[in-house]
Amino acid sequence: MPHDELLRLALNTAVTAGALAHRRRTEGVEVADHKSSPVDVVTLADRETENLIRSLLADARPDDGFLGEEGGAEAGSSGLTWVVDPIDGTVNYLYGIPHWAVSIAVVEGDPDPLTWRALAGCVTNPVAGEIYTATDAGGAFSGNQQLRVAEPASLAQSLIGTGFSYDSQTRAKQGAVVAELLPLVRDIRRFGTASLDLCAVATGRLNGYFETGLKPWDHAAAALVAREAGAAVVGLGGAPASDAFILAAPPELLSVLERELSKLVM
């Protein structure tokens, strides 16, 4: 199936799923469970939205695999896997902060960020009505508008996004990294939705973004959007971006940020 058709499926599914999650938010949110820590919650809407996405994708592409935040992995036979975060920014969603996303990517190869090739991805912010899409080598778009990263800026003039783990010990280390970086940059933003942070690099709302400890579904679609908008998206020490570390920025800034962060992270 051509990448454009995979993207159309991702987009239609993300819009339908976003409408469901948005409707459920207005009806009131119920925490269904806790995951890695007491502040890492899953809502009934997360589960319902993922189930909807899973069934829409399975109807259209029954041979593909699926990797979702809430329901786990299911292998397919086509060589393609859908990597899905039904509600990225769950804590924002829980608190009614209108900055959360549905993220759907389709990747080729094992569903492992170190080796996969992302073919198409869609990230939506249903409350803001923003939709970001990208296909491999086909560019990144918001609606009809092609996305481009910000003009080159020095580190001192750069607005940098990041995020924090749900684990308090990891968070203490992440806070120490931010404390070291803060005097070197224009400012730091922690918006609470990793996929939208990466899309913000694609639109130039952020100059750069980094985070340790993301999960594949947090970055699968949005890393493709950032890359196709002209960002370099890397891991540490020349490794591909992965759950361990992801850094996205225009290439000129990336090398400077990478140098600073490699001294601080890990």
- Footprint of ligand IPD (CB under 6 A): 69, 85, 88-90, 163-165, 192-194, 211, 213-214, 218
Are 260 and 181 spatial neighbours (Cβ–Cβ below 8 Å)? yes
Q: Quick one: tokens of 129?
A: 């009505």
Write down the least CB distance from residue 188 to ligand IPD, Å.
Answer: 13
Are 76 and 168 spatial neighbours (Cβ–Cβ below 8 Å)? no
Write down the least CB distance from residue 179 to ligand IPD, Å.
Answer: 17
- Residue number of the CB atom closest to ligand IPD: 163
Closer to ligand IPD by Cβ: residue 90 or 135 = 90
Closer to ligand IPD by Cβ: residue 85 or 258 = 85
Write down the least CB distance from residue 192 to ligand IPD, Å.
Answer: 5
Angle of helix 3-27 versus helix 44-60 axis, rounded to 10: 150
Closer to ligand IPD by Cβ: residue 61 or 222 = 222
Write down the least CB distance from residue 94 to ligand IPD, Å.
Answer: 9
Residues whose CB is less than 8 angstroms from the CB of residue 94 and which lie 6 or more positions away in sequence, other chains included: 29, 31, 41, 43
Write down the least CB distance from residue 252 to ligand IPD, Å.
Answer: 25
Write down the least CB distance from residue 27 to ligand IPD, Å.
Answer: 20
Closer to ligand IPD by Cβ: residue 194 or 221 = 194
Closer to ligand IPD by Cβ: residue 61 or 216 = 216
Instruction: For residue 131, give the 3-state DSSP assignment.
Output: strand
DSSP states along 223-252: HHHHHHTT-EEE-STTPPP-SSEEEEE-HH
Instruction: For residue 104, give the 3-state DSSP assignment.
Output: strand
Q: How far apart (Å, rounded) are the C-alpha atoms in residues 206 and 161?
A: 7
Closer to ligand IPD by Cβ: residue 61 or 164 = 164
Are 84 and 50 spatial neighbours (Cβ–Cβ below 8 Å)? yes
Q: How far apart (Å, rounded) are the C-alpha atoms in residues 206 and 28?
A: 31
Residue 140 bridge partners (DSSP): 134
